[in-house]
Structure 1
Amino acid sequence: MKITVIGAGAIGGNLARKLSAAGHEVQVADARGPEAVPAEALESGARAVALDAAVRDRDVIVLSIPFDRVQELADLFASVPSETVVIDTSNYYPHLNGRIEAVENGQVESVRNAELLGRPVVKAWNAALAETQRTKGVPAGTPGRIAIPVAADSEQARRVAMQLVDDTGFDPYDAGVLADSWRQQPMGPAYCTELTLEEMGPALAAADRDKDARVRDSMLERFAALSDAPTLEDVVEMNRAAHR
Protein backbone atom coordinates (compact mmCIF):
# COMPACT_ATOMS: atom_id res chain seq x y z
CA MET A 1 0.00 0.00 0.00
CA LYS A 2 0.96 3.64 -0.42
CA ILE A 3 1.25 5.01 3.12
CA THR A 4 2.16 8.40 4.56
CA VAL A 5 3.15 8.82 8.17
CA ILE A 6 2.77 12.41 9.38
CA GLY A 7 5.00 12.87 12.40
CA ALA A 8 8.41 11.29 12.87
CA GLY A 9 8.64 10.99 16.64
CA ALA A 10 8.90 7.75 18.59
CA ILE A 11 5.64 6.23 17.32
CA GLY A 12 5.66 7.70 13.81
CA GLY A 13 9.29 6.88 13.17
CA ASN A 14 8.79 3.31 14.35
CA LEU A 15 5.74 2.86 12.10
CA ALA A 16 7.64 4.24 9.12
CA ARG A 17 10.42 1.69 9.65
CA LYS A 18 8.16 -1.27 10.28
CA LEU A 19 5.71 -0.59 7.46
CA SER A 20 8.56 -0.03 5.02
CA ALA A 21 10.18 -3.29 6.11
CA ALA A 22 6.83 -5.02 5.52
CA GLY A 23 6.95 -3.97 1.88
CA HIS A 24 4.75 -0.87 1.83
CA GLU A 25 5.64 2.31 -0.04
CA VAL A 26 6.06 4.73 2.85
CA GLN A 27 6.48 8.49 2.97
CA VAL A 28 7.23 10.45 6.14
CA ALA A 29 6.31 14.10 6.62
CA ASP A 30 7.07 16.58 9.38
CA ALA A 31 5.57 20.05 9.79
CA ARG A 32 9.11 21.44 10.01
CA GLY A 33 10.00 20.05 6.58
CA PRO A 34 11.62 16.90 5.12
CA GLU A 35 14.98 17.80 6.63
CA ALA A 36 13.47 17.39 10.11
CA VAL A 37 12.71 13.69 9.54
CA PRO A 38 15.40 11.70 11.40
CA ALA A 39 17.49 9.23 9.44
CA GLU A 40 16.33 6.34 11.65
CA ALA A 41 12.77 6.75 10.36
CA LEU A 42 14.01 6.20 6.82
CA GLU A 43 16.38 3.30 7.39
CA SER A 44 13.99 0.65 6.02
CA GLY A 45 13.27 2.50 2.79
CA ALA A 46 10.74 5.22 3.65
CA ARG A 47 11.39 8.63 2.13
CA ALA A 48 10.93 12.09 3.58
CA VAL A 49 8.51 14.43 1.78
CA ALA A 50 7.08 17.91 2.23
CA LEU A 51 3.87 18.09 4.21
CA ASP A 52 1.80 19.53 1.36
CA ALA A 53 2.77 16.62 -0.89
CA ALA A 54 2.35 13.96 1.78
CA VAL A 55 -1.39 13.42 1.36
CA ARG A 56 -1.55 13.09 -2.42
CA ASP A 57 -2.30 9.69 -3.95
CA ARG A 58 -2.17 7.73 -0.69
CA ASP A 59 -4.06 4.62 0.39
CA VAL A 60 -3.43 5.29 4.08
CA ILE A 61 -2.35 8.33 6.10
CA VAL A 62 -1.16 7.76 9.66
CA LEU A 63 -1.37 10.79 11.96
CA SER A 64 1.30 10.47 14.64
CA ILE A 65 1.32 13.98 16.07
CA PRO A 66 0.42 15.47 19.47
CA PHE A 67 -3.29 15.42 20.26
CA ASP A 68 -3.55 19.20 20.46
CA ARG A 69 -2.00 19.73 17.00
CA VAL A 70 -4.53 17.80 14.94
CA GLN A 71 -6.69 20.83 14.17
CA GLU A 72 -3.71 22.45 12.42
CA LEU A 73 -4.04 19.89 9.60
CA ALA A 74 -7.72 20.47 8.80
CA ASP A 75 -6.98 22.52 5.67
CA LEU A 76 -4.46 19.94 4.46
CA PHE A 77 -7.00 17.13 4.84
CA ALA A 78 -9.72 18.98 2.95
CA SER A 79 -8.18 17.64 -0.27
CA VAL A 80 -7.81 14.03 0.90
CA PRO A 81 -10.17 11.65 -0.96
CA SER A 82 -12.86 10.00 1.14
CA GLU A 83 -11.54 6.52 0.34
CA THR A 84 -8.15 7.25 1.94
CA VAL A 85 -7.90 5.55 5.34
CA VAL A 86 -6.75 7.99 8.04
CA ILE A 87 -5.37 6.48 11.25
CA ASP A 88 -5.04 8.49 14.46
CA THR A 89 -2.41 7.37 16.98
CA SER A 90 -2.69 10.32 19.38
CA ASN A 91 -3.50 10.35 23.09
CA TYR A 92 -4.93 13.06 25.31
CA TYR A 93 -2.86 13.96 28.36
CA PRO A 94 -3.97 17.18 30.06
CA HIS A 95 -0.52 17.76 31.60
CA LEU A 96 0.93 17.78 28.08
CA ASN A 97 -1.91 19.18 25.95
CA GLY A 98 -3.66 21.40 28.47
CA ARG A 99 -7.24 20.63 29.43
CA ILE A 100 -9.54 20.52 26.42
CA GLU A 101 -13.11 21.30 27.44
CA ALA A 102 -14.86 19.07 24.90
CA VAL A 103 -12.88 16.00 26.01
CA GLU A 104 -13.24 16.84 29.68
CA ASN A 105 -16.99 17.02 29.10
CA GLY A 106 -17.08 13.54 27.63
CA GLN A 107 -16.31 13.80 23.91
CA VAL A 108 -14.28 10.77 22.80
CA GLU A 109 -10.77 11.82 21.80
CA SER A 110 -10.72 10.47 18.26
CA VAL A 111 -14.33 11.49 17.62
CA ARG A 112 -13.11 15.03 18.31
CA ASN A 113 -10.21 14.58 15.91
CA ALA A 114 -12.51 13.24 13.19
CA GLU A 115 -14.68 16.32 13.57
CA LEU A 116 -11.68 18.65 13.44
CA LEU A 117 -10.42 17.00 10.25
CA GLY A 118 -13.89 16.79 8.72
CA ARG A 119 -13.51 13.10 7.88
CA PRO A 120 -13.65 9.63 9.46
CA VAL A 121 -10.60 8.29 11.27
CA VAL A 122 -9.43 4.96 12.64
CA LYS A 123 -7.92 4.69 16.12
CA ALA A 124 -4.87 2.42 16.27
CA TRP A 125 -1.34 2.11 17.69
CA ASN A 126 -2.16 4.46 20.54
CA ALA A 127 -2.45 1.78 23.24
CA ALA A 128 1.10 0.41 23.18
CA LEU A 129 4.22 2.16 24.40
CA ALA A 130 6.69 3.31 21.75
CA GLU A 131 9.34 0.97 23.16
CA THR A 132 6.87 -1.93 23.11
CA GLN A 133 6.17 -1.21 19.46
CA ARG A 134 9.87 -0.88 18.67
CA THR A 135 11.09 -4.04 20.37
CA LYS A 136 8.25 -6.53 20.85
CA GLY A 137 6.72 -7.05 17.44
CA VAL A 138 6.84 -10.73 16.39
CA PRO A 139 5.44 -12.80 13.50
CA ALA A 140 1.79 -13.83 13.48
CA GLY A 141 1.19 -17.04 15.38
CA THR A 142 3.97 -16.46 17.90
CA PRO A 143 2.74 -17.50 21.39
CA GLY A 144 2.10 -14.53 23.64
CA ARG A 145 2.00 -12.02 20.78
CA ILE A 146 0.90 -8.60 22.06
CA ALA A 147 -2.43 -7.23 20.80
CA ILE A 148 -3.26 -3.68 19.70
CA PRO A 149 -6.91 -2.50 19.59
CA VAL A 150 -8.29 -0.88 16.43
CA ALA A 151 -11.55 1.13 16.38
CA ALA A 152 -13.38 2.71 13.42
CA ASP A 153 -16.88 3.33 12.15
CA SER A 154 -16.03 1.91 8.72
CA GLU A 155 -15.54 -1.85 8.78
CA GLN A 156 -13.42 -1.63 5.63
CA ALA A 157 -11.13 1.04 7.11
CA ARG A 158 -10.87 -0.94 10.35
CA ARG A 159 -9.83 -4.04 8.43
CA VAL A 160 -7.14 -2.09 6.54
CA ALA A 161 -5.74 -0.77 9.81
CA MET A 162 -5.87 -4.21 11.39
CA GLN A 163 -3.82 -5.65 8.54
CA LEU A 164 -1.22 -2.92 9.02
CA VAL A 165 -1.09 -3.58 12.77
CA ASP A 166 -0.38 -7.22 11.92
CA ASP A 167 2.35 -6.06 9.52
CA THR A 168 4.06 -4.22 12.39
CA GLY A 169 4.26 -7.36 14.49
CA PHE A 170 1.15 -7.29 16.71
CA ASP A 171 -2.20 -9.04 16.85
CA PRO A 172 -4.94 -6.60 15.78
CA TYR A 173 -8.03 -6.58 18.00
CA ASP A 174 -11.34 -5.38 16.55
CA ALA A 175 -12.39 -2.78 19.12
CA GLY A 176 -15.59 -1.75 17.34
CA VAL A 177 -16.76 1.75 16.52
CA LEU A 178 -14.92 5.01 17.12
CA ALA A 179 -17.31 6.09 19.87
CA ASP A 180 -16.01 3.15 21.93
CA SER A 181 -12.34 4.02 21.39
CA TRP A 182 -12.26 5.77 24.79
CA ARG A 183 -11.77 2.27 26.15
CA GLN A 184 -8.27 2.13 24.60
CA GLN A 185 -7.26 5.66 25.66
CA PRO A 186 -5.10 6.57 28.69
CA MET A 187 -5.10 5.00 31.23
CA GLY A 188 -7.57 2.16 30.97
CA PRO A 189 -6.80 -1.51 31.64
CA ALA A 190 -6.03 -2.06 27.93
CA TYR A 191 -3.69 0.92 27.64
CA CYS A 192 0.04 0.12 27.48
CA THR A 193 -0.29 -3.08 29.49
CA GLU A 194 1.00 -5.50 26.81
CA LEU A 195 -2.00 -7.83 26.66
CA THR A 196 -2.56 -10.79 24.38
CA LEU A 197 -5.52 -11.08 22.01
CA GLU A 198 -7.37 -13.21 24.57
CA GLU A 199 -6.76 -10.65 27.34
CA MET A 200 -7.63 -7.56 25.32
CA GLY A 201 -11.42 -8.00 25.16
CA PRO A 202 -11.95 -8.29 28.94
CA ALA A 203 -9.59 -5.34 29.52
CA LEU A 204 -11.52 -3.09 27.14
CA ALA A 205 -14.79 -4.17 28.73
CA ALA A 206 -13.43 -3.29 32.18
CA ALA A 207 -12.63 0.32 31.24
CA ASP A 208 -14.21 2.97 33.46
CA ARG A 209 -14.02 6.55 32.17
CA ASP A 210 -13.93 8.25 35.55
CA LYS A 211 -11.44 5.86 37.13
CA ASP A 212 -9.23 5.77 34.04
CA ALA A 213 -9.07 9.59 33.97
CA ARG A 214 -7.99 9.60 37.60
CA VAL A 215 -5.28 7.02 36.86
CA ARG A 216 -4.16 9.10 33.87
CA ASP A 217 -3.94 12.27 35.94
CA SER A 218 -1.88 10.50 38.62
CA MET A 219 0.70 9.36 36.09
CA LEU A 220 3.42 11.86 37.02
CA GLU A 221 3.11 10.92 40.69
CA ARG A 222 3.29 7.23 39.87
CA PHE A 223 6.32 7.73 37.61
CA ALA A 224 8.06 9.60 40.43
CA ALA A 225 7.75 6.48 42.56
CA LEU A 226 9.74 4.44 40.05
CA SER A 227 13.53 4.24 39.85
CA ASP A 228 15.53 7.00 38.18
CA ALA A 229 15.83 4.86 35.05
CA PRO A 230 12.66 2.75 34.81
CA THR A 231 12.68 -0.10 32.33
CA LEU A 232 9.91 -0.87 29.87
CA GLU A 233 8.86 -3.70 32.16
CA ASP A 234 8.68 -1.27 35.11
CA VAL A 235 6.31 1.03 33.22
CA VAL A 236 4.10 -1.80 31.98
CA GLU A 237 3.86 -3.23 35.50
CA MET A 238 2.99 0.22 36.87
CA ASN A 239 0.14 0.47 34.36
CA ARG A 240 -1.13 -3.01 35.16
CA ALA A 241 -0.95 -2.43 38.89
CA ALA A 242 -3.22 0.61 38.64
CA HIS A 243 -6.10 -1.73 37.71
CA ARG A 244 -5.62 -4.57 40.17
Structure 2
Amino acid sequence: MDGDQAKIGVLGIIGAGRVGLVLAKLARAAGYDVLIAGSGDPARIAGTVEAVAPGAVAGAASVVARDADAVVLALPLPQHRTLPVEALRGKLVIDAMNYWWEVDGLRSDLGDLRTTTSETVQALLTESRVVKAFNHMGYRDLDEEARPAGTPGRKAIAIAGNDARDVARVTRLVDDLGFDPVVVGPLPAGIMLEPGAEAFGADVDAAELRAMLERFPTSQRGIMVARARAREV
Protein backbone atom coordinates (compact mmCIF):
# COMPACT_ATOMS: atom_id res chain seq x y z
CA MET A 1 0.00 0.00 0.00
CA ASP A 2 1.53 3.32 -1.04
CA GLY A 3 1.25 6.54 0.93
CA ASP A 4 -1.74 7.90 -0.96
CA GLN A 5 -3.68 4.67 -0.54
CA ALA A 6 -2.82 4.53 3.16
CA LYS A 7 -4.06 8.02 3.94
CA ILE A 8 -7.28 8.25 5.91
CA GLY A 9 -9.74 10.66 4.32
CA VAL A 10 -12.06 11.77 7.12
CA LEU A 11 -10.84 11.14 10.66
CA GLY A 12 -13.45 10.70 13.35
CA ILE A 13 -12.73 11.08 17.06
CA ILE A 14 -15.10 9.85 19.75
CA GLY A 15 -14.14 11.60 22.95
CA ALA A 16 -13.69 15.35 23.26
CA GLY A 17 -11.49 15.40 26.34
CA ARG A 18 -7.85 16.42 26.37
CA VAL A 19 -6.52 13.63 24.18
CA GLY A 20 -9.37 13.85 21.70
CA LEU A 21 -9.01 17.59 21.28
CA VAL A 22 -5.23 17.43 20.89
CA LEU A 23 -5.56 14.73 18.22
CA ALA A 24 -8.17 16.85 16.45
CA LYS A 25 -5.80 19.83 16.53
CA LEU A 26 -2.89 17.81 15.14
CA ALA A 27 -5.04 16.20 12.46
CA ARG A 28 -6.40 19.55 11.29
CA ALA A 29 -2.87 20.96 11.18
CA ALA A 30 -1.93 17.99 8.99
CA GLY A 31 -4.78 18.75 6.58
CA TYR A 32 -7.28 16.09 7.65
CA ASP A 33 -11.03 16.54 7.69
CA VAL A 34 -11.99 15.89 11.31
CA LEU A 35 -15.29 14.98 12.98
CA ILE A 36 -15.39 14.83 16.77
CA ALA A 37 -18.00 13.72 19.28
CA GLY A 38 -18.31 14.33 23.00
CA SER A 39 -20.61 12.57 25.44
CA GLY A 40 -23.68 14.75 24.89
CA ASP A 41 -25.15 17.45 22.68
CA PRO A 42 -22.58 18.41 20.00
CA ALA A 43 -23.55 22.06 20.47
CA ARG A 44 -21.99 21.96 23.93
CA ILE A 45 -18.50 21.30 22.55
CA ALA A 46 -18.71 23.10 19.22
CA GLY A 47 -17.13 26.31 20.52
CA THR A 48 -14.27 24.51 22.23
CA VAL A 49 -13.64 22.35 19.17
CA GLU A 50 -13.49 25.39 16.89
CA ALA A 51 -11.12 27.20 19.27
CA VAL A 52 -8.72 24.26 19.66
CA ALA A 53 -8.97 22.66 16.22
CA PRO A 54 -10.38 25.19 13.74
CA GLY A 55 -12.30 23.46 10.98
CA ALA A 56 -13.06 20.30 12.96
CA VAL A 57 -16.80 19.58 13.13
CA ALA A 58 -18.59 18.50 16.30
CA GLY A 59 -21.26 15.85 15.90
CA ALA A 60 -23.06 13.01 17.63
CA ALA A 61 -21.00 9.86 18.15
CA SER A 62 -23.20 7.82 15.81
CA VAL A 63 -22.85 10.42 13.05
CA VAL A 64 -19.08 10.69 13.52
CA ALA A 65 -18.78 6.90 13.36
CA ARG A 66 -20.96 6.70 10.26
CA ASP A 67 -19.31 9.50 8.28
CA ALA A 68 -15.63 9.00 9.14
CA ASP A 69 -13.26 6.69 7.28
CA ALA A 70 -11.49 5.78 10.52
CA VAL A 71 -12.40 6.55 14.12
CA VAL A 72 -10.16 7.21 17.12
CA LEU A 73 -11.57 6.17 20.49
CA ALA A 74 -10.46 8.73 23.08
CA LEU A 75 -13.01 7.99 25.79
CA PRO A 76 -12.41 6.73 29.33
CA LEU A 77 -12.17 2.98 28.75
CA PRO A 78 -15.14 2.02 30.96
CA GLN A 79 -17.36 3.99 28.55
CA HIS A 80 -16.50 1.71 25.63
CA ARG A 81 -19.84 -0.07 25.99
CA THR A 82 -21.59 3.19 25.04
CA LEU A 83 -19.98 3.16 21.59
CA PRO A 84 -22.24 3.12 18.51
CA VAL A 85 -21.42 -0.45 17.56
CA GLU A 86 -23.56 -0.60 14.43
CA ALA A 87 -22.27 2.72 13.07
CA LEU A 88 -18.71 1.44 13.55
CA ARG A 89 -19.38 -1.75 11.61
CA GLY A 90 -16.69 -2.26 8.95
CA LYS A 91 -14.62 0.69 10.19
CA LEU A 92 -10.98 1.01 11.15
CA VAL A 93 -11.10 1.88 14.86
CA ILE A 94 -7.99 3.31 16.54
CA ASP A 95 -8.01 2.58 20.27
CA ALA A 96 -6.33 5.32 22.33
CA MET A 97 -8.04 4.32 25.60
CA ASN A 98 -6.49 3.08 28.83
CA TYR A 99 -7.58 1.30 31.98
CA TRP A 100 -6.76 3.57 34.93
CA TRP A 101 -7.36 1.40 37.99
CA GLU A 102 -6.80 4.37 40.32
CA VAL A 103 -9.76 6.13 38.68
CA ASP A 104 -11.78 3.28 37.18
CA GLY A 105 -11.49 1.00 40.22
CA LEU A 106 -10.32 -2.60 40.26
CA ARG A 107 -12.23 -4.31 37.48
CA SER A 108 -11.68 -7.90 36.47
CA ASP A 109 -13.15 -7.25 33.02
CA LEU A 110 -10.51 -4.60 32.24
CA GLY A 111 -7.55 -5.69 34.36
CA ASP A 112 -7.19 -9.31 33.22
CA LEU A 113 -3.53 -9.72 32.20
CA ARG A 114 -4.38 -12.74 30.07
CA THR A 115 -5.71 -10.36 27.45
CA THR A 116 -5.43 -6.67 26.55
CA THR A 117 -7.86 -3.79 26.76
CA SER A 118 -7.79 -3.38 22.98
CA GLU A 119 -8.80 -7.03 22.58
CA THR A 120 -11.68 -6.31 24.96
CA VAL A 121 -12.73 -3.44 22.69
CA GLN A 122 -12.37 -5.70 19.63
CA ALA A 123 -14.60 -8.28 21.32
CA LEU A 124 -17.32 -5.64 21.57
CA LEU A 125 -16.75 -4.26 18.07
CA THR A 126 -16.79 -7.61 16.35
CA GLU A 127 -17.40 -6.15 12.89
CA SER A 128 -14.79 -3.37 13.23
CA ARG A 129 -11.02 -3.57 12.88
CA VAL A 130 -9.24 -2.34 16.00
CA VAL A 131 -5.68 -1.00 16.02
CA LYS A 132 -4.04 0.32 19.19
CA ALA A 133 -2.25 3.69 18.96
CA PHE A 134 -1.93 7.08 20.68
CA ASN A 135 -2.53 5.62 24.15
CA HIS A 136 0.94 5.65 25.66
CA MET A 137 1.91 9.33 25.28
CA GLY A 138 0.38 11.97 27.54
CA TYR A 139 -1.78 14.66 25.97
CA ARG A 140 0.69 17.45 26.81
CA ASP A 141 3.49 15.61 25.04
CA LEU A 142 1.22 14.89 22.07
CA ASP A 143 0.42 18.59 21.91
CA GLU A 144 4.00 19.85 22.28
CA GLU A 145 6.21 17.24 20.64
CA ALA A 146 4.82 16.90 17.11
CA ARG A 147 7.57 17.53 14.56
CA PRO A 148 8.01 17.16 10.78
CA ALA A 149 9.35 13.86 9.47
CA GLY A 150 13.13 13.69 9.56
CA THR A 151 13.51 16.03 12.55
CA PRO A 152 16.37 14.75 14.76
CA GLY A 153 15.02 13.29 17.98
CA ARG A 154 11.45 13.15 16.70
CA LYS A 155 9.28 11.34 19.22
CA ALA A 156 7.64 7.99 18.50
CA ILE A 157 4.17 6.49 18.80
CA ALA A 158 3.70 2.72 19.00
CA ILE A 159 1.07 0.82 17.00
CA ALA A 160 -0.35 -2.68 17.48
CA GLY A 161 -2.75 -4.27 15.03
CA ASN A 162 -3.62 -7.50 13.25
CA ASP A 163 -4.19 -6.35 9.68
CA ALA A 164 -1.23 -5.05 7.67
CA ARG A 165 -3.36 -2.64 5.62
CA ASP A 166 -4.93 -1.13 8.72
CA VAL A 167 -1.55 -0.83 10.42
CA ALA A 168 -0.22 0.91 7.30
CA ARG A 169 -3.04 3.45 7.47
CA VAL A 170 -2.42 4.15 11.15
CA THR A 171 1.32 4.36 10.47
CA ARG A 172 0.62 7.06 7.88
CA LEU A 173 -1.63 8.90 10.34
CA VAL A 174 0.98 8.83 13.12
CA ASP A 175 3.61 10.18 10.73
CA ASP A 176 1.30 12.88 9.41
CA LEU A 177 0.45 14.01 12.94
CA GLY A 178 4.12 14.53 13.73
CA PHE A 179 5.56 11.34 15.21
CA ASP A 180 7.68 8.39 14.13
CA PRO A 181 5.53 5.23 14.00
CA VAL A 182 6.82 2.08 15.69
CA VAL A 183 4.88 -1.09 14.88
CA VAL A 184 5.06 -3.47 17.83
CA GLY A 185 3.13 -6.45 16.44
CA PRO A 186 -0.43 -7.78 16.44
CA LEU A 187 -3.14 -6.47 18.74
CA PRO A 188 -2.12 -8.64 21.73
CA ALA A 189 1.29 -6.93 21.69
CA GLY A 190 -0.52 -3.82 22.89
CA ILE A 191 -0.06 -5.18 26.43
CA MET A 192 3.39 -3.58 26.24
CA LEU A 193 1.79 -0.13 25.86
CA GLU A 194 -0.68 -0.31 28.73
CA PRO A 195 -0.34 1.32 32.18
CA GLY A 196 2.24 -0.54 34.24
CA ALA A 197 4.57 -1.11 31.28
CA GLU A 198 7.74 0.92 30.81
CA ALA A 199 6.56 2.27 27.46
CA PHE A 200 3.40 3.72 28.99
CA GLY A 201 3.96 7.45 29.30
CA ALA A 202 6.99 7.27 27.01
CA ASP A 203 7.97 10.53 25.33
CA VAL A 204 11.03 9.19 23.54
CA ASP A 205 12.38 8.64 20.05
CA ALA A 206 11.88 5.46 18.06
CA ALA A 207 15.17 3.84 19.11
CA GLU A 208 14.47 4.28 22.81
CA LEU A 209 10.85 3.16 22.44
CA ARG A 210 11.99 -0.03 20.71
CA ALA A 211 14.49 -0.60 23.53
CA MET A 212 11.71 -0.27 26.10
CA LEU A 213 9.60 -2.78 24.21
CA GLU A 214 12.51 -5.23 24.00
CA ARG A 215 12.91 -5.02 27.79
CA PHE A 216 9.24 -5.78 28.44
CA PRO A 217 9.54 -9.60 28.82
CA THR A 218 12.09 -9.23 31.63
CA SER A 219 10.36 -6.27 33.32
CA GLN A 220 8.19 -6.68 36.41
CA ARG A 221 5.08 -6.07 34.32
CA GLY A 222 6.21 -8.49 31.66
CA ILE A 223 6.82 -11.20 34.23
CA MET A 224 3.36 -10.61 35.74
CA VAL A 225 1.79 -10.94 32.29
CA ALA A 226 3.75 -14.13 31.53
CA ARG A 227 2.69 -15.69 34.86
CA ALA A 228 -0.97 -14.80 34.30
CA ARG A 229 -0.91 -16.30 30.83
CA ALA A 230 0.95 -19.42 31.96
CA ARG A 231 -1.85 -20.12 34.44
CA GLU A 232 -4.31 -20.02 31.56
CA VAL A 233 -2.54 -22.82 29.67
Query: Please, what TM-score do these two structures have when normalized by structure 1?
Result: 0.81
Does the alignment pair 1:20 with 2:28? yes
* CA deviation map 1:177-232 (0-9, x unaligned): 00110001113221212121111112112125983399xxxxxxxxxxxxxxxxxx
Q: How does 1:227-242 map to 2 (within 5 A)?
A: none
Residue of structure 1 aligned with 2:92, choices 85, 93, 98: 85
Q: SS of the residue aligned with 1:86?
A: strand
Which residue does 1:194 correspond to in 2? 203
CA distance in 2, matches of 1:209, 1:102: 25
The equivalences for 1:100-179 within 5 A come to: 100-106=107-113, 107-118=115-126, 119-179=128-188
Are 2:54 and 1:44 equivalent residues in the alignment? yes
Once residues 56 and 124 of structure 1 are traced to their aligned partners in structure 2, the CA distance between those partners, rounded to angstroms, is 21
1:178-189 superposed matches below 5 A:
178-189=187-198
User: Which one has more relative contact order, counting CA pairs under 8 Å at least 6 apart?
Assistant: 2
Provide the aligned length of Structure 1 versus Structure 2.
Answer: 212
Match of 1:226? Answer: none
Deviation string for 1:95-120 (max 9, x for gaps)?
A: 11122213433221110111122233
Unaligned runs of 5+ in 1: 215-244
Computed over aligned residues only, the root mean square deviation of the Cα atoms, in angstroms, reads 2.1
1:20-79 CA-to-partner distances (Å, cap 9, x unmatched) read 121111111112121232634333310111222111232111110001110111xx2223
Tell me what 2:17 maps to.
Answer: 9
Are the counterparts in 2 of residues 18 and 44 from structure 1 also a CA contact under 8 Å?
no
TM-score where L is the length of structure 2? 0.84
Alignment partners' CA distance in 2, 1:104 and 1:213: 14
Shift of 1:146: 0.5
Q: Tell me, in whole angstroms, the C-alpha distance in 2 between the residues paired with 1:99 and 1:85.
A: 29
Instruction: Work out whether residues 8 and 38 of structure 1, in 8 Å CA contact, stay in contact via their aligned partners in 2.
Output: no
Deviations 1:131-188 (A, max 9, x none): 0001111101000001010111111111111111111111111111001100011132
* 2:81 corresponding residue in structure 1: 71
In 2, the alpha carbon distance for the partners of 1:109 and 1:133 equals: 21
